[in-house]
């Protein structure tokens, strides 16, 4: 255990090393590191008093709050698992989470949906955020806790709705702190870093910066949800270094600060527009220089590759974090050659510990000793990685593996194509052959032969469609083509493993 | 094993992610990452052919060379342990290393001492660096190796001559890479970083930057030993980012470059003198801003605390690395209060795996689940840490623990004192009382009472000496007082544990 370092350990160290530093700001709440450490001890003790043991789950149903960080740290102190769930889901979706996760304690903020769930709850101890949460915490005592191994899961984030329902990715302290360290490197975070948690904490994109800020002994500022004017006010008032902002959010903040009502110069962030750049301090770290690019998913702790580690590289996903290995693998576990498409697979310090209560899925995702992301990628000749698209289906034509996402990408690069989906149809000689279903742009024209020729200019010939069907619109399931509907309508079948 | 990341794994990743990057420069040798990876595979295969198995030791007896990095990486690939030993030691000292480490393979460069050792060697396979090493490597094949856990020791560095002889600190891949990552954070290293290995690779100070440079996919340049003119030439020729340079070495390099013969502007390093600053690029990273300060030792992987994480702090050792915890502990394992002196103890990702073949010493060093550094320190009110000195002895007076180093420091702050040592003498009431042995500066005067009063102005009263003996010179053992000789000459005894 001498090598173990949990989130709780990091907090205990900061309580000693940074007695005067503000750890948390949330509305009128301001806590130094010793104050946060003390509250986390009380909360862990109180949760233990409610029956929370190692491996048990504690669910947060609410907007952003410093209570999320406190619950996560208290769970880490106990060896339990904290899950901040997406509050904006439907009653049916949240009911699934409750049934799936079987939390010992639920801390909730009232909404129509959570109030209904609370009224019908048959299990778990429900604690309302705010006064009830504070009373629970006040019941705790300043006890000592047994040391917890940093390989124990501390955080659960729902993600990856493979089978129509999401699964909870379990992240250990070791993985979360390794990932946080990779952000310290690529974002060049230093003590004094102040992060505004204005994105949702149930998403790894905000959580990963919250934890990196904790790790470097900085200040986490919480706000319930994104509000452009409030973001401006908080950046000014708390001298925020970074917030969770992208494209249109940056435009909204720029607009809210028209006339320079607030001083945003403490923000060290990405260049965006002339007006934005004049308000903030454009940051020179690899993360900000490269527009925060890369490839990631919850299961790898956040980012697997960083564009900031591959400036000028050919692949727009960049190069792997210093704490992971990446391989592009074929379905048989062998490595594909440079330039060939394979599944993005990974090993390393930032990886998750599997999904909660999904043994079969976990076995498949870790085949051959590599985490399989479910996404396709390619090594460019300079070693950088290009993300191709999700590996939803695979077509087997002769001995060749063909991934629909790759062919769809080629089709969509044709000027006449509005949208495209690719399926495999039974073929007497090749087992399957490639069929494209294409929606053309209004008033655009293209022939079957013309599209097939176009794909051949971009991809190896064996990947080209042998048939093209033209449709008005590609049916969708979420963001991806509805392949089952397409197979039914266009004769798909004979997929490997069927 | 999906979370494991060895030094060998990092190299295997770079071979894919950085096919065109130069990994190693050493004289006429230039290797890209794929070339280095290939050579390391051949070397690991050849070492296995010589009987090297997991846990076996491979000893390097020579000056700096890219072969040291190759041997370390090959050992990591095999699960074996590479030890670069201090070539400048006496025949007796190196004979001790051979007997203690029982290496399976010794790679050696000829010197009077190593030639004599080789001639008398009764065990181990001796391979001469250069042609013989290249022939060995050429015998290897491109085989696959079983995955090695990153918790296995990969590097052994001799250090800490507690009992008159040094011990080999074992560092795992996990610890070495965690420490390298902490340098990536504090030194803000980026891809393209080029490190000149001009300090000795048997010392953690050079090795830690060599491995951080490997981890970020930079270039390691090797030179046999420090030569100011050659350092200038290599900085210019290889556009070196950082070298292993301190005080007088920087002066020597400045002098060697008088008139600006070489372009040193690629060097991003610490400010030193106006002339030096005009030759290089003064770097703004926390590591360079804070003059590379902190507290460290081989057993923690290098640096435990960084001044760069505590700018403006009171304690001149700074604050802990983001990947460790530090506690100031009393001999009973309890934490001492802020402002009190205790032993600097640590847990975390960068810590060593104990000393090779020293079970009793290892048990003592890891008492209460914390690594005991053997050094004394103090938390300042702002949470920063001050290093006091080595904990060689402890005096027990009543219930109080008194460390000689602390009292010696107080005595030496008196203007008349040239040197001082503190021992415990038997005391009928208090078990022991403090006695100071003091050497005054030439022509300076001080009284027993005057020195005792002076200590009282600096330390708690119970720590003041009750007796002072004046001597011409303090007997030494290396850099520290010879306490055994002092006890014999001045009536010391009754130490706790005696």
CB A426 within 8 A of CB A416: no
Give the number of beta-carbon pairs within 8 Å between A and B. 144
Structure tokens at B481: 């007082």
pLDDT at B162: 59
Q: What is the pLDDT of residue A174?
A: 98
Q: Please indicate, yes or no, if residue A242 is contained in any of the structural domains.
A: no
Average pLDDT, chain B: 95
Non-local (6+) Cβ contacts of A220 within 8 A are: A23, A24, A25, A66, A69, A194, A195, A197, A210, A213, A214
pLDDT tens, A352-410? Answer: 999 999 999 999 999 999 999 999 999 999 999 999 988 888 898 887 888 898 899 89
Query: Is A57 within 8 Å of A74 (Cβ atoms)?
Result: no
Determine whether the interchain pair B191/A319 forms a contact, defined as Cβ–Cβ distance below 8 Å: yes
- In chain B, which residues have their Cβ closer than 8 Å to the Cβ of A1? 347, 369
Given an 8 Å threshold on Cβ–Cβ distance, is B381 in contact with A215? no
Q: C-alpha distances in angstroms, B165 versus A313, A469, B233, B351?
A: 51, 80, 38, 22
Let me know if residue B240 belongs to a domain: no
Tell if the CB–CB gap between A19 and B325 is shorter than 8 Å. Answer: no
Is the residue at B269 inside a domain?
no
The shortest CB-CB distance from B351 to any of A2, A190, A324 is to: A2
Q: Can you give the pLDDT at residue A123?
A: 87
CA distance A251 to A282: 15
Residue A414 maps to which CATH number? 3.30.300.30
Examine residue A233 and state whether it is found in any structural domain, yes or no.
Answer: no
Q: Is A267 helix (H, G, I), strand (E, B) or coil?
A: coil
CB B301 within 8 A of CB B211: no
Rounded Cα distance, A141 and A109, in Å: 25
Give yes or no: residues A28 and A162 share one domain: yes
Q: Are A214 and A313 in the same domain?
A: no
Q: How far apart are CA A147 and CA A127, in angstroms?
A: 27
Q: How confident is the model at residue B297 (pLDDT cuts 50, 70, 90)?
A: very high
- For residue B97, the model assigns a pLDDT of 95
Pair (B117, B203) in one structural domain: yes
On chain B, the residues whose CB falls within 8 A of the CB of A327 are 16
Yes or no, beta carbons of B381 and A3 under 8 Å apart: no
* Least confident residue range of A34-38, B403-407, B409-413: B403-407
The number of CA neighbours under 13 Å toward the Cβ of B439 is 12
The CA-CA-CA angle for residues B75, B78, B81, to 5°, reads: 35
Are A177 and B323 inside 8 Å of each other by CB?
yes
Q: Which of B165, B194, B225 is the last residue of a domain?
A: B225
The answer to whether residue B163 scores a pLDDT higher than 70 is no
Q: If you average pLDDT over residues B327-334, what whole number do you get?
A: 96
Say if CB B176 and CB B301 are below 8 A apart.
yes
Q: How confident is the model at residue B89 (pLDDT cuts 50, 70, 90)?
A: confident
Structure tokens at A438: 């294409």
Mean of per-residue pLDDT scores for chain A: 95
Residues B370 and B453 in one domain: no
> How far, in Å, CA of B464 to CA of B452, rounded?
6
Query: Is it the case that residue A457 has pLDDT exceeding 60?
Result: yes
Query: Is residue A407, in this structure, part of any structural domain at all?
Result: yes
Out of B13, B174, B320, the one facing A326 most closely (by C-beta) is: B13
Q: Are residues A301 and A436 in the same domain?
A: no
Vertex A86, ends A288 and A206: CA angle to 5°?
15
Q: How close A125 gets to chain B, by Cα (Å)?
A: 34
ipTM of model over 0.85: yes
pLDDT digits (tens, 9 = 90+) for B59-87: 999 999 999 999 999 999 999 999 999 88
Residue B188 has a pLDDT of: 98
Does the pLDDT of residue B253 top 90, yes or no? yes
B147 and B62, same domain (yes or no): yes
Range of the domain at B407: 398-490
Same domain membership, residue A443 and residue A370: no
Report residue A62: phi and psi, to 5°: -175, 180
Backbone angles phi, psi at B213, to 5 degrees: -65, -40
Distance CA A59, CA A56 (A): 10
Confidence check: pLDDT of B95 > 80: yes
Structure tokens at B136: 């060995």
What span, in angstroms and rounded, lies between the C-alpha atoms of A59 and A85?
7
In a domain, A240, yes or no: no
In this prediction, residue A107 has a pLDDT band, given cuts at 50, 70 and 90, of: very high
Question: Does the distance separating the beta carbons of A17 and B326 come in below 8 Å?
Answer: yes
The residues, any chain, with a CB within 8 Å of residue A139's CB and separated by 6 or more, are A42, A46, A49
In whole angstroms, what is the distance from residue A206 CA to residue A197 CA? 6
Which residue of B lies nearest to A315 if distances are taken between CA atoms?
A: B17
Among the listed residues B98, B97, B85, B68, the one whose alpha carbon sits nearest the alpha carbon of residue B7: B68
Is 80 exceeded by the pLDDT of residue B498? no
**Other beta carbons less than 10 A from residue A459's beta carbon:** 17
Of A182, A189, A286, the CB nearest to B190: A286
Alpha-carbon Rg for chain A, nearest whole angstrom, is 25
- For B364-401, the pLDDT digits (tens) are 999 999 999 999 999 999 999 999 988 888 898 887 88
Rounded to whole angstroms, how far apart are CA atoms B189 and B287?
10
Q: A185 to chain B: which residues are within 8 Å by CB?
A: 181, 184-185, 189, 216
Residue B316: DSSP 8-state: T
Contact B320 A13 (CB under 8 A): yes
Q: Are residues A195 and A312 in the same domain?
A: no
A27 within domain boundaries? yes
Residue A113's Cβ-side half-sphere holds a number of Cα atoms within 13 Å equal to 15
**Which chain B residues touch A370 with a CB distance below 8 Å?**
2
Q: What percent of chain A has pLDDT over 70?
A: 99
Domain end: A225, A250, A268, which one? Answer: A225
pLDDT tens-digit map of A274-311: 999 999 999 999 999 998 899 999 999 999 999 999 99
Task: Identify the three-state secondary structure at position B186.
Answer: helix
**Mind spelling out the 3-state secondary structure of B270-302?**
CCCCHHHHHHCEECCCHHHHCCCCEEEEHHHCE
Same domain for B481 and B376: no
Q: Note the pLDDT tens digit of each residue in B437-487.
A: 999 999 999 999 999 999 998 888 889 999 999 999 999 987 789 999 999
Whichever domain contains B384, its CATH number is 2.30.38.10
Considering the domain boundaries, does residue A498 fall inside one?
Answer: no
Give B382 to chain A, closest Cα distance, Å: 6
Rounded distance between C-alpha atoms, residue A83 and residue A169, angstroms: 10
CA-closest candidate to residue A237, choices A210, A213, A267: A267
Q: For residue A365, what is the enclosing H or E element? A: helix A359-365
Which of A4, A182, A383 comes nearest B19 by C-beta? A383
Tokens matching residue B1:
């094993």
If pLDDT is split at 50, 70 and 90, which confidence band does A163 have?
Answer: low
Same domain flag for B147 and B190: yes
User: Cα–Cα distance between A428 and B149 in angstroms, integer?
Assistant: 48
Claim to verify: residue B322 and residue B423 sit in the same structural domain: no
Residue B161 has pLDDT above 70, yes or no: no
User: Do residues A51 and A61 lie in contact, with contact meaning Cβ atoms separated by under 8 Å?
Assistant: no
Give the count of domains, chain A.
3
Pick from B102, B97, B199, B76: nearest CA to B158: B97
| Nearest residue in chain B measured CA to CA from A151 | B3
- Residue A86 is predicted with a pLDDT of 87
Is residue B393 classed as helix, strand or coil in its secondary structure? coil
Residue appearing with tokens 């009128």: A28
Task: Determine, for residues B2 and A351 on separate chains, whether the beta-carbon distance falls below 8 Å.
Answer: yes
Give the end of a domain, one of A343, A369, A390.
Answer: A390
Is residue B444 located within the same domain as residue B364?
Answer: no
DSSP-assigned letter for residue B334: P
Question: Helix/strand/coil (H, E, C) string of A104-141?
Answer: CEEEECCCHHHHHHHHHCCCCEEEECCHHHHHHHHCCC
Supply A121's token pair.
């709850």
Q: Tokens 């959570």 map to which residue? A: A114
The CATH number of residue B14's host domain is 3.40.50.12780
């Amino acid at each position: 255990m001498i090598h173990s370092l949990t989130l709780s350990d990091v907090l205990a160290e900061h309580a000693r090393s940074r007695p005067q530093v503000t750890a948390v700001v949330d509305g009128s709440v301001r806590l130094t590191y010793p104050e946060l450490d003390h509250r986390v001890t009380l909360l862990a003790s109180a949760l233990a008093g409610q029956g929370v043991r190692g491996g048990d789950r504690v669910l947060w149903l609410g907007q952003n709050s410093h209570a999320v960080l406190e619950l996560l740290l208290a769970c880490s102190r106990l060896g339990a698992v904290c899950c901040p769930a997406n509050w904006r889901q439907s009653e049916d979706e949240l009911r699934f989470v409750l049934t799936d996760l079987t939390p010992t304690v639920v801390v909730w903020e009232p909404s129509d949906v959570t109030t209904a769930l609370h009224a019908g709850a048959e299990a778990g101890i429900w604690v309302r955020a705010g006064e009830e949460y504070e009373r629970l915490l006040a019941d705790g005592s300043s006890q000592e806790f047994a040391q917890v191994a940093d390989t124990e899961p501390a955080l659960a984030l729902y993600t990856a709705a493979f089978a129509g329902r999401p699964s909870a990715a379990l992240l250990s302290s070791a993985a979360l702190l390794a990932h946080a360290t990779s952000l310290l490197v690529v974002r060049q975070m230093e003590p004094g870093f102040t992060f505004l948690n204005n994105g949702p904490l149930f998403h790894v994109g905000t959580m990963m910066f919250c934890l990196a800020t904790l790790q470097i002994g900085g200040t986490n500022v919480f706000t319930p949800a994104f509000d452009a004017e409030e973001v401006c006010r908080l950046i000014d008032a708390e001298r925020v270094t970074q917030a969770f902002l992208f494209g249109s959010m940056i435009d909204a903040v720029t607009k809210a600060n028209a006339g320079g009502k607030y001083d945003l110069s403490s923000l060290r962030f990405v260049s965006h527009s002339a007006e934005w750049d004049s308000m903030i301090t454009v940051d020179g770290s690899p993360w900000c220089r490269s527009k925060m690019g890369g490839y990631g998913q919850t299961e790898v702790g956040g980012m697997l590759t960083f564009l900031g580690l591959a400036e000028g590289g050919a692949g727009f996903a960049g190069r792997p974090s210093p704490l992971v290995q990446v391989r592009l693998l074929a379905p048989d576990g062998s490595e594909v050659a440079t330039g060939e498409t394979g599944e993005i697979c990974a090993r390393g310090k930032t990886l998750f510990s599997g999904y909660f209560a999904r043994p079969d899925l976990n076995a498949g995702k870790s085949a051959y000793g590599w985490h399989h992301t479910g996404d396709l990628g390619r090594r460019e000749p300079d070693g950088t990685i290009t993300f191709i698209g999700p590996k939803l289906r695979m077509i087997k034509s002769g001995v060749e593996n063909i991934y629909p996402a790759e062919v769809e990408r080629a089709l969509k690069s044709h000027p006449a194509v509005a949208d495209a989906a690719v399926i495999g149809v039974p073929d007497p000689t090749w087992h399957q052959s490639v069929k494209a279903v294409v929606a053309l742009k209004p008033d655009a024209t293209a022939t079957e032969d013309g599209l097939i020729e176009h794909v051949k200019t971009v991809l190896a010939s064996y990947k080209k469609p042998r048939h093209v069907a033209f449709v008005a619109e590609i049916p969708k399931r979420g963001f991806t083509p509805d392949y089952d509907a397409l197979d039914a309508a266009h004769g798909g079948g004979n997929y490997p493993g069927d």
